[in-house]
Amino acid sequence: MNKPVKGYKVFNPDWTCRGFKYTVGETFEEEVELSVCHRGFHFCEKATDCFNYYHFDPANKVAEVLALGDIVTEGDKSCTNKIQIVREISWAELLEIVNTGKSCSGYRNSGNLNSGNFNSGNRNSGHYNSGNYNTGNWNIGDRNSGNQNSGHCNSGHYNSGNYNTGNWNSGNRNNGYFNSGNRNSGHYNSGDYNTGDYNSGDYNSGNYNSGDYNSGDWNKCNFSSGCFNTIEHQIYLFNKPSEWTYRDWMDSEAYTILSYMPNNALQYIAWENMTDEEKNTYPEARTTCGYLKKLDNSECRIKWWRNLSNEQKAVITAIPNFDKEIFKEITGIDIDEEDTNE
């Protein structure tokens, strides 16, 4: 007498399989020459293997079975000439059987809380994810929306970098495709902070720039606005041509001083120094003993100018083509009036 072998069998919703109707609790026997996929009652010893042949569909019926007769096995599938349908397995129980992880709605998940199949990570919606919190398939990284990302927090496919929107990015925080640089918006950029395509330089707005800070295409130099330039061109200062390049401006002492000019500065006003109008507008300031007042740009810039040394002011007024009226229009600082007040 053959030793009974426990297994699992999947049926159509009406408990039929290959046109034969089964009943839970009964034993079925037939005299046939066994042949896997051709003759005999078929089953799998592992529940997960059943779904190599049936859709993983909760509408289908699943049962625990015992093979009581002769058995022939090929690969993950077996057949017997005598089978007992022991009991129906609920879908909830099946999910526990086919997953080693917990609370999964797919199968063959070793991770937990997955919706999909073959996930070794956790909380994935998709298949074959070894990372966590992915929506998609074959993700090694975490929190990706897409497929085959080895990086993290990508929206797209095949990204080895992080925080990309697009595909095949090896850099980080790109919006586009095939970027090996970082923080680009475009495609095939090996440089950083570019808007455009095929830039090997940095901070370009345009395409095919090997230099930096260009606005245009095919520029080999820096700070160019145009196309096919190899030397930096001179810039306008105060609406007039100058002998300075933008690099000269960036390297100048005047640029350094002016970079500290305040913008939207805040000033703390104590309660006892607040006007009645301010107290009515900010009644919560009684509790905080004051509030932060946003200063007008021209007001805080004038205060900043007054705190500069005479040497620093001279550096600024020595900028080529310096024009007091244009300086006042842009900054709000009236140099003539300030000179009078000194």
Alpha-carbon span 246 to 237, nearest angstrom: 10
pLDDT at 341 over 70: no
Phi and psi angles of residue 263, each rounded to the nearest 5 degrees, phi first = -140, 125
Task: Express each pLDDT in 156-204 by its tens digit.
Answer: 999 999 999 999 999 999 999 999 999 999 999 999 999 999 999 999 9
The answer on pLDDT for 264 being more than 90 is no
pTM of the model: 0.65
Task: Parse the chain into domains and list their residue ranges.
Answer: 5-97, 266-341
